[in-house]
């Protein structure tokens, strides 16, 4: 993973009505085939395939990796680690964080905290050790760890798609 790929932000021109309907159909059935989507939307297979390729190239789709429970893999402890860094070292720190297997997600933030890192660990000692490894990365100045007690609202975009379709 390169520094550039870690910090790339993708943008796309506005989605049209057909794009939004296609995304809604995919949200309702993420495993739907191109043929099934075409039938559901009343479009040709080639149209759906071309739109899917354009949407993918534009970065509309996040990871195709299945959402797998970290607890089922033996990592029941999740935490968010707020990380404060030397700004000049941020690109290299992002690359180093990507090498830590317990890091399942990281976001760059504005404000007092520079990075919000989500980790999954076996137990509290493993979390302590993971935090220590992050803190040992050159340029990391301070961390603060918050245990995840439960997910209140899962990642979702359907309400945003509904809002976009109304606009």
Please write down the long-range contacts of 33-39, taking CB distance under 8 Å and 24 or more positions apart.
none
What does the alpha-carbon distance between residue 117 and residue 119 come to, in Å, rounded to a whole number?
A: 6
Q: Specify whether the CB–CB gap between 105 and 78 falls below 8 A.
A: no
pLDDT in tens, 5-31: 444 444 445 789 899 999 999 988 888
Confidence (pLDDT) at 30: 87
Exposed, middle or buried, 35 (CB in 10 Å: 0-12/13-18/19+)?
A: exposed
The conformational region for residue 140 under phi > 0 = left, psi -120 to 50 = alpha, else beta, is beta
pTM of the full predicted structure?
Answer: 0.75
pLDDT by residue for the chain (167 residues), tens digit each? 344 444 444 444 578 989 999 999 998 888 899 999 999 999 999 999 999 999 999 889 887 777 789 999 999 999 999 999 999 999 999 999 999 999 999 999 999 999 999 999 999 999 999 999 999 999 999 999 999 999 999 888 889 888 888 87
Confidence (pLDDT) at 84: 98
Q: Specify whether the CB–CB gap between 145 and 79 falls below 8 A.
A: yes
Confidence (pLDDT) at 165: 81
Domains annotated for the chain, with CATH where assigned, are 15-65 (1.10.10.10), 71-147 (3.30.70.920)
Where are the extended beta strands (E) located within 7-165?
77-85, 103-108, 115-121, 140-147
């Amino acid at each position: 993973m390169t520094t550039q790929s870690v910090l790339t932000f993708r943008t796309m021109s506005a989605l049209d009505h057909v794009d939004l309907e296609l995304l809604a159909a995919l949200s309702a059935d993420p495993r739907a085939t191109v043929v099934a989507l075409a039938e559901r939307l009343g479009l040709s297979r080639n149209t759906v395939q071309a739109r899917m390729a354009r949407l993918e190239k534009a970065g509309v789709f996040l990871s195709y990796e299945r959402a797998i429970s970290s607890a089922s893999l033996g990592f029941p402890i999740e935490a968010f680690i707020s990380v404060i860094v030397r700004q000049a070292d941020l690109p290299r720190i992002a690359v180093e964080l990507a090498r830590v297997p317990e890091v399942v997600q990281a976001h760059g933030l504005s404000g007092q905290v520079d990075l919000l890192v989500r980790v999954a660990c076996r137990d509290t000692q493993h979390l302590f050790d993971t935090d220590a490894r992050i803190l040992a990365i050159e340029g990391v100045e301070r961390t603060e760890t918050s245990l995840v007690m439960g997910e209140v609202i899962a990642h979702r975009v359907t309400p945003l798609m509904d809002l976009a379709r109304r606009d």
